[in-house]
Amino acid sequence: MYRLVVVMKIILLLANTFALYTLYAFVLIFLIIFRLRYEPWRNIIMEWWGKGIAKILSMEIKVEGTPPEPPFFLVSNHLSYIDVPVYSSLLKTTYVSKMEVKHWPLIGFMASTLGIIFIDRRKKRDVARVNREISEQLNEHQGVVLFPEGMTSPGLEVLQFRPPLLEHAASENIEVSYSAIRYRALKGKEPAYKSVSWWGGTPLHKHLYLLASNKKIMVTIRFGDDRLSNADRKILAEKLYQKVSGIFLPMAKVLDEEFVPPDF
């Protein structure tokens, strides 16, 4: 019975995702034909998607502070692929994502048509292109969420922020908002740092099963009260790192296996 419930959750997650995307794509065709902005429609679909995912996974989202309104540039720590639907349920936004996602079967195509900005972290010169896209996509309809750690983690601490993607915010003197996300699993077989955070090379399909195995997931998102700016991207990255670290709640004190962030 337990396995059946988990499998049903996964089926519902997939059905919710593909049904809403089909609706999004159908309306998008008309928006393109009549040359209308797609972001307001995208925001509605992403909000429905995020709230649907939260409902299926029995996620209770607690918000501390005030979520920013577009246009905004927000940085956050990064724990899991589930961060995206959680933030989408609260914010009118697009995201900066690793290039590998663009090449995932079907998911990559969907993400591209939803306006996700992709970066190839192996190519330093790609940062300039990404910063141009960030500049183009900041408007009255949407903000941009960036995960400057450059990877997900088990959530013991916030990983050091990578300055290059903050070049646009620094050079244009944009005020940057910040937030911290944290998960807690209730009545699950594994702690949240394993069953919600995605790290350590666990295949996506296996982790999705672990995620759906949780009976309830508590999510806390803390939004900072101020916004930061600095013309030096390294200084800006360090200040934002300190701010996010200051409001972050660790998900565990120790791990039962080693986690070593890669050098960038």
Closest Cα to residue 168, out of 75, 73, 67, 243?
73
What CA–CA distance (Å, rounded) separates 75 from 55? 25
Write down the pLDDT at residue 262. 54
Smallest CA-to-CA distance from 85 within 117, 58, 53, 56 is with 53
From edge to edge, which strands make up the β-sheet containing 117-119?
A: 59-64, 216-223, 177-186, 73-76, 143-146, 93-98, 117-119
Structural domain boundaries in the chain: 2-247
Residue 54 phi/psi, 5-degree rounding, is: -60, -40
**218 φ, ψ to 5°?**
-95, 130
Note the CATH architecture for domain 2-247: 3-Layer(aba) Sandwich (3.40)
User: Both tokens of residue 130?
Assistant: 């990404």
Query: 222 with 247: CB under 8 angstroms?
Result: yes
155 class by beta-carbon count within 10 Å (0-12 exposed, 13-18 middle, 19+ buried): buried
| Interatomic CA distance for residues 13 and 15, integer angstroms | 6
Are 53 and 15 contacting, i.e. CB atoms less than 8 angstroms apart? Answer: no
pLDDT of residue 264: 45
Phi-psi region of 65 (alpha: psi -120 to 50; beta: other; left: phi over 0): left
Query: What is residue 260's predicted lDDT score, i.e. its pLDDT?
Result: 59
Q: According to the model, what pLDDT value does residue 38 have?
A: 96
d(CA 168, CA 50): 28
Cα–Cα distance measured from residue 81 to residue 152, given in angstroms and rounded to the nearest whole number: 8
In the beta sheet, which residues pair with residue 178?
A: 75
Mean pLDDT, the chain cut into blocks of 10 residues (264 residues total): 91 97 97 96 98 98 97 97 97 92 88 92 79 89 95 94 89 94 88 92 92 96 97 97 97 75 54
Q: Which residue has the tokens 């306006």?
A: 115
- Residues 6 or more apart from 71 whose CB is under 8 A from it? 138, 139, 140, 142, 143
Residue tagged 């806390």 (tokens): 220
